[in-house]
């Protein structure tokens, strides 16, 4: 009985040490980087000198600190003028924000529209934070109350008030009713 008590005491002391058993982690299935942050239903506000320039909404956001990028899904951006009035919006299925420059890339079913009725459709574009311009070298289609234009390559202010299509492939004016 004395030996059984000693064996139980030794077993108890050995099992109660501070050393924790670390589980074996198999990293062989992980491909690429792991995001440092994830969030759902995110809102990012872009400001300059205390004034709101744009507000970005995203259903899902993955932020990678080492790469300094954020990947977005199901995005909507509201653009504001100097008086902080919402003047245009952009929607897309996917997006990416360069966290160093705050430039934003929109991809997959990109639609930009302004409060004057002008609508831009494309598959990819970039919003440059430095000059608040929208640019792409992809196919674009612009529908406004005065014209329909299609082509490749595009640059505009973020409110779609002054735009240029570099290689026009189609242009027409809507029929006016008498």
pLDDT confidence band for 47 (50 / 70 / 90)? confident
Contact 99, 113 (CB under 8 A): no
Contact 127, 146 (CB under 8 A): no
Q: Environment class of residue 142 by beta-carbon count within 10 Å: exposed (0-12), middle (13-18) or buried (19+)?
A: buried
Beta sheet of 163-172, edge-to-edge order:
37-48, 51-64, 69-80, 86-98, 104-114, 119-128, 133-143, 148-157, 163-172
pLDDT at 30: 47
pLDDT at 124: 96
Mean pLDDT value of segment 80-91: 92
Residue 12 has pLDDT above 70, yes or no: no
Element (H, E) at 4: helix 2-15
Residue 76 has pLDDT above 80, yes or no: yes
Average pLDDT of every residue of the chain: 86
Mean pLDDT value of segment 39-50: 89
Residue 108 CB partners (closer than 8 Å, separation 6+): 92, 93, 94, 123, 124
Q: What percent of the chain has pLDDT over 90?
A: 59
Residue 86 CB partners (closer than 8 Å, separation 6+): 78, 79, 80, 115
């Amino acid at each position: 009985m004395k030996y059984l008590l000693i064996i139980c005491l030794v077993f108890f002391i050995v099992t109660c040490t501070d050393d924790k058993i670390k589980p074996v982690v198999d990293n062989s299935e992980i491909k690429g980087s792991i995001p440092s942050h994830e969030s759902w239903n995110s809102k990012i506000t872009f400001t300059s000198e205390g004034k709101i320039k744009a507000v970005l909404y995203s259903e899902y956001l993955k932020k990678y600190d080492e790469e300094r990028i954020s990947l977005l899904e199901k995005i909507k951006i509201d653009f504001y003028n100097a008086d902080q009035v919402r003047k245009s919006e952009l929607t897309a299925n996917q997006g990416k924000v360069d966290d160093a420059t705050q430039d934003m890339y929109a991809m997959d079913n990109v639609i930009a529209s302004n409060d004057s009725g002008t609508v831009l459709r494309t598959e990819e574009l970039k919003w440059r934070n430095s000059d608040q311009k929208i640019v792409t070298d992809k196919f674009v289609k612009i529908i406004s109350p005065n014209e329909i234009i299609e082509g490749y390559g595009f640059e505009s202010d973020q409110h779609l008030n002054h735009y240029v299509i570099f290689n026009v492939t189609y242009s027409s004016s809507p029929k006016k009713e008498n």
